[in-house]
Amino acid sequence: MSANTDRYDNAVARYFEAWNAGEPEELAKAVAAAWTPDGSYTDPLADVTGHEGIAAVIAAAHEQFPGFSFRPAGPVDGHHDTARFSWELVSETDGSAPVAGFDVVTLDEDGRIRTVLGFLDRVPAGA
C-alpha cells in the first residue's frame, strides 16, 4: 500500500471514529483529531465550520438515529489532497442500513480534514 493510500485510509478511519464517538468528550477529541480547527462539513442537511459545529451535526445524527453506527461501504479512493468514500448508517440491532451516501474530503498536509462534501444516496421518508 502506498503512503498516499495510507494517508487517505487513515484520514477516513479518523472520520468514522468521530462519527461513531458516543460521549461528548470522546466526540470532541475525535473531531479534533480528524478535522483542522477551521474544517468544514457540508451535506444537503448541514453546512458548518469548526469543531463545535461538526460535533453538533454528529450529535444530532446520533439523536435522530439512536443505536446506529456509521461504517464504510467500500474502499477509499484518493488523489492529491482529495479522497472519496461511500458509507452506511447501520442499525446495531438488526443490521439494516436505512441511510447511505458518499463523501468527498480534502486534507491538509498532515492528513487532517479541511472540508467534507457529503451526498445522501438513501434516506428514509420523514428523516
pLDDT tens, residue by residue, 46-75: 999 999 999 999 999 999 999 999 999 999
Residues 6+ apart with CB under 8 A from 39: 49, 50, 51, 54, 112, 113, 114, 115, 116
Mean pLDDT of the chain, nearest integer: 95
- As a whole number, mean pLDDT of residues 93-102 equals 96
pLDDT at residue 96, as a whole number: 95
pLDDT at 127 over 70: no
Cell (9 digits) for 126: 420523514
What's the pLDDT score for residue 92? 94
Band (pLDDT 50/70/90 cuts) for residue 5 is confident
Residue 2 has pLDDT above 70, yes or no: no
Question: What pLDDT, in 10s, does the model give residues 14-37?
Answer: 999 999 998 999 999 999 999 999
**C-alpha 11: how far from its chain's center?**
10
pLDDT at 1: 45
- 16's grid cell: 468514522
> Once rounded to an integer, what is the mean pLDDT over residues 65-91?
97
pLDDT the model gives residue 125: 79
**Residue with C-alpha cell 428523516?**
127
